[in-house]
Every structure is written in C-alpha cells, then in structure tokens.
Structure 1
C-alpha cells in the first residue's frame, strides 16, 4: 500500500535524522542508495538543509536501514549518535538556554522542529523528572525502532546540554521485551522496564534547574526568534498544501491542473510549483491523495456503483480509476469495499 497517501502520514519533517542514519551506516560500508531506495530522497537531497520530506519517506529509509544492517538494536545505536547539534537552530538555542528546564520547554513546544513521531511532555514529580513519549501512530513494524531512537536521542540531548554524562534513573517502554532486550541496560546504563503504560526516560529532577555550561542570553534570544520564524514557515507550508487539497476536494469532477488551482488561490503557478518542490511533493501526488481519500470514503460509506465513483473523482474512464486505486491500495475497489 502507498502509505504516504494516508492522511496521518502527511506530516513534514527535516532531513536531519535520515541524513545522520545514512552517513553513519555508509561509514560502516552500507550502500547509501540501498538505504534511500523507494523513499523518493536522493543522495544530493541529503546536502540540502531546507528540503522537507514526509514521515512516510523517512519511515521507508528506517525500514531499509533495518533490512540492510540486520541490526535489531539499530534504533538504540543511532539515537545515541543524535547529538543536539543535529537539530539545527533549535539545537543551538537549547544549548544557549539558561537551564535544562528552559531548553526542554523550547524543544517540546516546537514538535515540528524536533521531527518526532511521539507526543512529548516533561513531568516533574518530586525527585524524578520524566520525558514521556506517547501517541505513536505510524508504521507498527517500526514501533520498537522508533521508540528506541526517540528515547536514546533524548538521553544524548540531555547529556549534550549538561555537558556531562548522566545515568538515567530508569527507562520505561510500552512494548514487550524484544529479542535484543539484554542490550538495553548495557547501552543505556540504567534499569529498563518493559510492558509499561507509556514510554518514558526518567532522570534526577535536580538536573532540571541546573545552569547549562553554554548558556548565553543574547544567543538564546536570537535563536528563539529564528526558531519561531522556522516554525511559522513550516506551518505556512502545511497551509499551502491544505489549501490545494481543499480546493481539489471541492472540484474533483472538473479537470484540475496546477494553473487553474493557482488562479483560484490567487497565487502564481510558478510559486506553487516551487512550494511543492521544496516540500518534496507534486501536484499529481496531492491530486492522488485527495482522490484516494474520497474513493475510500465513497466505497465504504455509500453503495454507489464503481463507475459513478470514478466520475465523482474526475475520471473519464472507470478502468483508469480501477488501475489508480490498485496502485494506491494494493487491491481493487471492489475488494476494498468488502
């Protein structure tokens, strides 16, 4: 199934995580092209800091990495290499924050800049502070990998910010022990609890109000303004995609092209095309997304015959719709309806 068409996998993220993964594994002899295969990301893209990709593209690279390395603990080892500088301006602003609590507050308030698959929160409970990661809703086969990557990268960030190695009090994980469970305590240096109610990295709460060694108020305030600007730009790019999708959804019966959509949105075709290229997508991809959403809705919620559904989606021939739906979902419209 073309998972990138699913609504929950349309969030955009930066290239920093897969750039690190590819660079790390390539240094160990893994072919970069194998890691990027099927993701729509090229080797040259990894050198383009302002390029954005979908979470589905990133997940494909992660799946390729696991398949090509056959290392079940890959999420742990990559997370331990995810230093705070990998987060660009957000990372440097965190380093310049006054305290660890200030740094974490900035990061957790900018999830788009973190590029996380989880809803992250900070809990301060007496002697124990907890970075909690919940709400994972992406590729289930990568649950363990992404949980490992998330929590170990948070540990690495804490150590980078404090300028010293720290030993977590414990790590809680919401899944059952994997086959490589024995490596967790060895790599994390603390007790690990599997089958917990949620994922959490637990550490000494006293660390939260410790002054950071690289704290600098001038750099902090400059960085904070840049982070706010980057966050707004990311939101505006999402808005452009949403505007195009909404217009297409309301006009699927008509023969839509990028020029007509641009006129309706009072933008130039060139501007929209540039936006789409920056977001690593295309007009045809958005049109496919909208058609796929509408097709699934009509197939499940109505008894309309297939040829009428094809007409509502803007297809002049039913066979073209059948072929497209097979490509999107891996099955025919009739089989999906059952």
Structure 2
C-alpha cells in the first residue's frame, strides 16, 4: 500500500500590510467580468434572475456581458454571496468552476495553453494569478513525488469576511476551475492524483469527487490538488515556446497596468501604514497625496469607500493578524492599533466581525 505524502506547510495567509493592500486592491475595478458572468449564467439555470444575482454590485446584466467593462474582486464576492443565499444547491460552486475554461481568462489563459511544460504552466499561473479576478491566493510546490497546488483554508482568508457556506462555495469553485484548467491545457487525461479538503466531509462529497475525477480526502490539514511529479515535464498539446514568451510579456504588461488602475485606495493604505502603530488623519494623508481632504474624500467615494472605512478595515486586518500570530495582550493590541484602552478595542472588533477578539485566538 502506498504511503501518503505528508502535508506540505505552505503559508498562504498574507501579513498585516499585505492584507491591507489586498483589501484595497479588491475594490479596484480592473478585471473583465468573465467570472461574474459565469456565476450569473449558472444561477439563471437555477431560475435566479440576473438582477437578483447582481444585487448589491452596482452592475447591470448588459455591463457584465460587455468585455470592456471592468469589475472588482469585491463585486465577484458579492455575486458569490448572492449565489449562496439564493440557490441552496451544495454543488453550486463546482458547477461554476467547471464552466471556467481556459478561454475565460483572455491572454492569461492563452499563456497557459502555450507553456512549454506543465511545470511552466503552473509557474505562469502563479505569476499572473493577479489577472484572474483572484478571490483566493494560490501557491505551488513540489515534493519528491508530486506537484502540489495549495489553496487557502478558511482562516487564511478570514479578512474576506466569508461565512462558512460562502467560503465553501468559493473553495469548490477554485478546486473545480483548477481541475478544469489542467484538462484544458494538458488534455483530458490530466486529472489530479488526489485532492485534500481542510473541511469535514460535506453532503455533496460524491459530487466533488466526480467533478475532480479523483479520490478526495476530507478533514485534512490543508487544501491541495496533487499531480504526479513526472507529469510536470510533459508539454501541453498547444505548447509553443515563442508564443509562450510573447504571452508572458503581454501578461506582465497587463499586470503592471492593472497595478495602477483605480489605485487611489491602495495609495491611501500605503500612506496610512508608513509608520507602524501611528494612523494619520485624513488631512495629513491628503497632503501627502498632494490634494485637499475634500478632494480625497470625493475620489474615494468614486471608488466606493471612505477614509474612515479604509482605516477601520486596516485596523481589523491588523487585529486579526495580531490575534492569530502573536500572544500580545489585549492592552498591547489596543495600543498598537491606536485605541485608548482594551475595552474600546473589544467594542470596535465586535462591530467589525460580530465576535469578540478572544474568539479569534487560536
């Protein structure tokens, strides 16, 4: 009987500063609406109207069908939340993920198709994941026998504020889309050797196994898709080294361009976090950005946020990181976050998350 490979410890959760920047970037409208449209289409087949599916996003169905429209991760999250609320099918995330073929990703998808080897395809996938409306961080590693794709646990993406059913929807979607991309790029033979879920066995476990076409272990320490390592040297059926290099350059350019689209929110985060433990007021931040506080407020409103909201989100992200990765006392965390005392911090934390800080301590 073969011995199972041990779980590979790959940290997917970002640090506090990265969390704050990711939160800012999640509001930036830089992504084509392909994933959102796919969720809307799957919901439509369940009898859910596009208007209901898009509630709270500020998007109309004609905009979602327009390749020139740009959307944000937050809008995709909102559509996913609507999906979980409106459609009780436990396999809904799998249905969405199986619809997300390589043709859903534009130049990013074409770059994967043209990669010289499966290994290079994984490398490109990690390098340009930021072009794919990334809800969840992903990572790739190799053991002696396997290539391992790592997906985050619920705790790794706590800053997204997803409920367990919402997280389950997006996790199923991620597992299914990665399995689908593997077959699109390499061929129908390329199915995972095994999958691992860091969740108890759900009611739709058999549907997960059918969707991934492999054995699935539930209740594992990590979320992983594993492939035989010897496959990593195989060439995709459309491999072309010259085109692969061209597509890589195009993806790099797109990634750089997207980094500065709708970027004021991220620039404000950077200004707020320049001095650890000190949070400047809006007047100081506006001055550092060469504008008045009124102009800054107006520009942030156009991006769907406010200075006070950004500051609260930053403090929340930092609080989660302190609680999960340090043994700092509540008094010390309160001081680090600029609160007058631990009680004020506890009250603010409950407003942010609906729970007390001690409930987040591992």
**Structure 2 length normalisation: TM-score?**
0.69
Per-residue deviation, 1:81: 1.4
> What is the distance in 2 between the residues matched to 1:121 and 1:290?
28
Q: Report the counterpart of residue 10 of structure 1 in structure 2.
A: 24
> What is the distance in 1 between the residues matched to 2:283 and 2:142?
54
Q: Report the counterpart of residue 208 of structure 1 in structure 2.
A: 232
CA separation of 1:188/1:283 partners in 2, compared to 1, >3 Å: closer, same or farther?
closer
Q: Unpaired segments of 5 or more residues in structure 2?
A: 1-18, 273-278, 317-333, 355-362
Q: How does 1:94-113 map to 2 (within 5 A)?
A: 94-113=112-131
1:285 to 300, 305, 308: 305
* 8 Å CA contact 2:200, 2:219 repeated in 1: yes
- 1:76 and 2:94 are equivalent in the alignment: yes
- 1:37 and 2:61 are equivalent in the alignment: no
2:340 to 283, 295, 302: 302
Q: Report the counterpart of residue 222 of structure 2 in structure 1.
A: 198
> What is the distance in 2 between the residues matched to 1:289 and 1:245?
11
* 8 Å CA contact 2:201, 2:219 repeated in 1: yes
2:184 to 155, 160, 170: 160
1:120 to 125, 128, 138: 138
CA separation of 1:128/1:96 partners in 2, compared to 1, >3 Å: closer, same or farther?
same
CA separation of 1:30/1:284 partners in 2, compared to 1, >3 Å: closer, same or farther?
closer
Q: Report the counterpart of residue 136 of structure 1 in structure 2.
A: 157
RMSD: 3.6
* 8 Å CA contact 1:170, 1:202 repeated in 2: yes
**DSSP 3-state at the match of 1:285:** coil
* 8 Å CA contact 2:271, 2:288 repeated in 1: no
**DSSP 3-state at the match of 2:305:** helix
CA separation of 1:40/1:329 partners in 2, compared to 1, >3 Å: closer, same or farther?
farther
CA separation of 1:73/1:43 partners in 2, compared to 1, >3 Å: closer, same or farther?
same
Q: Report the counterpart of residue 315 of structure 1 in structure 2.
A: none
Q: Deviations over 1:78-132 (max 9, x none)?
A: 1111111111111011111111111110110123113333332222223322211
Q: Unpaired segments of 5 or more residues in structure 1?
A: 1-5, 307-324, 332-338
1:264 to 271, 274, 290: 290
**DSSP 3-state at the match of 1:59:** helix
> What is the distance in 2 between the residues matched to 1:196 and 1:253?
49
Per-residue deviation, 1:162: 0.8
* 8 Å CA contact 1:117, 1:136 repeated in 2: no
Alignment length (residue pairs): 293
Per-residue deviation, 1:194: 0.7
* Higher Cα radius of gyration: 1
Q: How does 1:307-326 map to 2 (within 5 A)?
A: none
